[in-house]
Amino acid sequence: MSLENTDFPVRMPLRMDWSEMDLYDHINNVMILKYVQTARVHYWDTVGIKTVPRQDHGPILASTSCRFLRPLVYPGELQLLSRLSSLGNSSFGLQHRILDQHGQIAVEAHDLIVMYDYNSNKKIRVNDEIRTAMERLEGRLPG
């Protein structure tokens, strides 16, 4: 199934900075992973997952992957797009796209996030409030 950019309900503009370039005159891959982190946290904020100050429980990143499709070069304004790709009992997946200043897909990334109890060091269930907020945002529940 091919996704359109309109299938990503959470969007955020981001300006690239000259200092993020590397020796090859494109944005360094480490910075791109930082952009993915920005997109992830923006999604969390949108659905009400609290990260600061740290609570006794919250999200923890279990894995992330990234496909670099085209170089990003300074100067330019990016668009970070995010959507829910899966929702399990204690985990959920996020899919991200980074669009370059021409609206072309430059990066595709995927995160697996686990809800976690930091005191007992165990995963916990995605609570109903967050689950409902995600499903509503994604258009799976009436708004």
According to the model, what pLDDT value does residue 69 have?
97
Instruction: Read off the pLDDT of each residue in 14-43 and give the average, rounded to a whole number.
Output: 94
**Does 13 fall in a domain?**
yes
Instruction: Read off the pLDDT of each residue in 136-142 and give the average, rounded to a whole number.
Output: 85
Domain that holds residue 69: 5-137
Q: Can you give the pTM of this predicted structure?
A: 0.93
Q: Which of 47-51, 53-57, 90-94, 105-109 comes out lowest in average pLDDT?
A: 53-57
Name the domain count of the chain. Answer: 1
What stretch of H or E contains 78?
strand 77-87
**Does 58 fall in a domain?**
yes
**Does 35 fall in a domain?**
yes
Buried/exposed code over 32-59 (b: 16+ C-beta within 10 A; e: otherwise): beebbebbbbbbbebbebeeeeeeebbb
**Does 22 fall in a domain?**
yes
**Does 62 fall in a domain?**
yes
Q: CATH number of the domain that 55 lies in? A: 3.10.129.10
**Does 143 fall in a domain?**
no
Contact by Cβ (8 Å): 82, 107: no
CB atoms within 10 A of CB 2: 4
**Does 142 fall in a domain?**
no
According to the model, what pLDDT value does residue 143 have?
61
Nearest to 22, CA basis, from 71, 90, 94, 79: 71
Instruction: Read off the pLDDT of each residue in 20-45 and give the average, rounded to a whole number.
Output: 94
